[in-house]
């Protein structure tokens, strides 16, 4: 039977937001998982005590931004529209139905001019501390990788610009190592004239819309301006640290600032799991030199086609020589400024070598093999990747850090950003990860609470049934 409902849009009702939001709603779990009043402690200094207009509650501002990132809403304007209409959102920020929500420009202004990088970092660490206190963090193994975020910049609006090359983090340490190696081989050490030389420059493509972004082009991806979020997570997919750079910065270059943050906050970790982009001499030296282990993967050799494979040239540690495929020795020649030892063959032997075409095309008939002064650490990483425990850790990488990136882009809107500038994008990315960590923390606490409630409930039933059995036994007798 067809029934037509009467439209009662103008009907007045007495309702309570507390009764309208389901008890198992995600925002209820989040609200009970963490004490949001802690926010007052680290924003109190940002407000004047006895002057100015009354502000919007900072807890409300943070909750509004959390709603945006938890549900992947694209903009603050759209977020405030959703908050004004959604009962659960209103319950979360504590606004009744007849109270106007803050204007989106108020929220935007506060997060651009009042809540700086230090405030966002404090919130990020606060959530992780709450997760650690509940015992949810497992920092024995750290998973590291980077993901690109499309910038709010048109690729057609670009200009070429000469920018100074950034000095490598380990320049001084490598310079000392090179001079030490040269002295051991009886060579004259290099003079440190880096201060006298003008800084080297390189020409790069810069966006005129967002100059702090960088050109990203990899494989089948479309060329675009982007940022890259270099991220570290634990075994339970809690994001432990993030460092944002332009999209044209290599993963190995951005590793040091990220790893500094991880070591400062989680010095107890024992293993770093990363892909082949991080298998560089410096990163291997830094990790293995600190008593930890780098679990990485196989690196495809970059040798020419129809040439001898790289493994055909064997390093003889005793004589400090390299043995070529024809069993001739390539003797030490020098150690260059880049940290590579040069091993060179004898021209008179190479001239009559039957496989010279597969070895070298040098006009002097001289083969040069390079070996880094920190190559031993790279070989340690190569040996360790064959061990079963580290094979299993690397296999988990796709379920850990790659899963974090997939969730961030698919569920939380991190595929592209509408913000411009490194500072704004960094805060935006950290707030995304705050929302993800908080969501996981709240879900796990709710699940454990539910499990303990079920255990207590069934334990009472079991005790009751057991007591009934004991009471009925004398009656039978």
* Residue 440 pLDDT greater than 90, yes or no: yes
Answer yes or no: are the C-beta atoms of 243 and 260 closer than 8 Å: no
CA dihedral angle for residue 144, residue 148, residue 152, residue 153, rounded to 10 degrees: 130
Encode pLDDT of 217-254 as tens digits: 877 778 899 999 999 999 999 999 999 999 999 999 99
pLDDT of residue 339: 93
pLDDT of residue 68: 94
Cα–Cα distances (Å) from 104 to 80, 100, 107, 111, in that order, read 6, 12, 5, 11
Residue 424: what are its φ and ψ, rounded to 5°? -70, -40
306 backbone φψ class: left, alpha, beta (φ>0; ψ -120 to 50): left
Q: What is the token pair recorded at 102?
A: 């803050």
Burial of residue 133 (number of CB atoms within 10 Å: 0-12, 13-18, 19+): exposed
Percent of the chain whose pLDDT exceeds 70 = 93
Burial 59-96 (b: 16+ CB within 10 A, else e): bbbbbbbbbbbbbbbeebeebbeebeeeebbbbbbebe
Q: What is the token pair recorded at 276?
A: 């082949």
pLDDT of residue 304: 82
Residues whose CB is less than 8 angstroms from the CB of residue 232 and which lie 6 or more positions away in sequence, other chains included: 142, 143, 144, 239, 240, 241, 242, 258, 259, 261, 262, 401
Where is average pLDDT lowest: 14-18, 312-316, 468-472? Answer: 468-472
| pLDDT classification of 378: cutoffs 50, 70, 90 | very high
Mean pLDDT of 42-47: 85
Encode pLDDT of 50-105 as tens digits: 787 888 899 999 999 999 999 999 899 999 999 999 999 999 999 998 899 999 99
Mean pLDDT of 336-346: 93
Q: Which residue has the higher pLDDT, 469 or 140?
A: 140
* Residue 441 pLDDT greater than 80, yes or no: yes
What is the SS3 assignment for 216? Answer: strand
Q: What is the token pair recorded at 179?
A: 């001079």
* Residue 196 pLDDT greater than 80, yes or no: no
Mean of the per-residue pLDDT values of the chain: 89
Q: How many CA atoms lie within 13 A of 295 on its CB side?
A: 22
pLDDT of residue 169: 83
pLDDT of residue 218: 79
Where is average pLDDT lowest: 235-239, 337-341, 371-375, 465-469? Answer: 465-469
DSSP 123-181: HHHHHHHHHHHTT----SEEEEEEEEEE-S--TTSEEEEEEEPPPPTTHHHHHHHHHHH
* Residue 207 pLDDT greater than 70, yes or no: yes
């Amino acid at each position: 039977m067809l029934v037509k409902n009467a439209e009662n849009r103008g009907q007045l009702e007495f309702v309570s937001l507390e009764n309208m939001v389901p008890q198992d709603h995600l925002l209820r779990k989040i609200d009970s998982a963490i004490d949001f009043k802690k926010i007052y402690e680290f924003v109190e200094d940002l407000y004047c005590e006895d002057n100015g207009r009354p502000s919007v509650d900072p807890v409300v501002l943070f909750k509004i931004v959390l709603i945006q990132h938890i549900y992947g809403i694209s903009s603050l304007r759209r977020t405030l529209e959703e908050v004004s209409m959604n009962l659960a959102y209103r319950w979360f920020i504590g606004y009744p139905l007849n109270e106007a929500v803050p204007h989106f420009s108020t929220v935007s202004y506060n997060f651009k001019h009042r809540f700086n990088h230090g405030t966002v970092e404090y919130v990020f660490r606060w959530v992780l501390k709450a997760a650690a206190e509940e015992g949810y963090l497992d920092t024995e193994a750290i998973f590291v990788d980077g993901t690109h975020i499309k910038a709010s910049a048109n690729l057609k609006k670009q200009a070429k610009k000469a920018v100074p090359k950034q000095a490598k983090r380990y320049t001084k340490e490598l310079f000392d190592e090179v001079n030490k190696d040269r002295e051991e081989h009886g060579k004259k050490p290099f003079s440190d004239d880096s201060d006298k030389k003008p800084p080297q420059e390189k020409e790069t493509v810069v966006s005129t819309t967002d100059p702090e972004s960088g050109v990203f082009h990899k494989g089948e991806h479309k060329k675009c301006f982007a940022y890259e979020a270099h991220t570290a997570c634990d075994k339970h997919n809690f994001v432990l640290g993030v460092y944002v750079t332009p999209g044209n910065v290599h993963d190995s270059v951005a590793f040091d600032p990220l790893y500094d943050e991880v070591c400062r906050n989680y010095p107890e970790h024992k293993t770093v799991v990363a892909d082949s982009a991080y298998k560089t001499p410096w990163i291997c030296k830094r990790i293995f030199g600190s008593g930890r282990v780098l679990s990485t993967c196989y690196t495809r050799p970059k040798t020419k086609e129809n040439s001898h494979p790289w493994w055909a040239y064997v390093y003889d540690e005793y004589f400090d020589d390299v043995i070529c495929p024809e069993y001739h020795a390539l003797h030490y020649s020098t150690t260059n400024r880049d940290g590579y030892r040069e091993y060179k063959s004898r021209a008179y032997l190479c001239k009559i070598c039957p496989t010279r075409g597969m070895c070298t095309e040098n006009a002097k008939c001289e083969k040069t093999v390079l070996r880094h002064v920190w190559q031993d650490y790279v070989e340690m990483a190569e040996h360790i990747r064959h061990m079963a425990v580290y094979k299993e850790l690397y296999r988990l990488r796709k379920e850990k850090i790659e899963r974090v990136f997939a969730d961030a882009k698919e569920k939380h809107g991190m595929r592209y950003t509408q913000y411009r500038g490194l500072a704004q994008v960094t805060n935006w990315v950290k707030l995304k990860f705050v929302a993800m960590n908080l969501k996981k923390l709240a879900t796990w606490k709710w699940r454990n609470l539910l499990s303990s409630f079920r255990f207590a409930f069934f334990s009472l039933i079991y005790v009751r049934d057991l007591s009934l059995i004991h009471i009925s036994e004398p009656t039978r007798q």
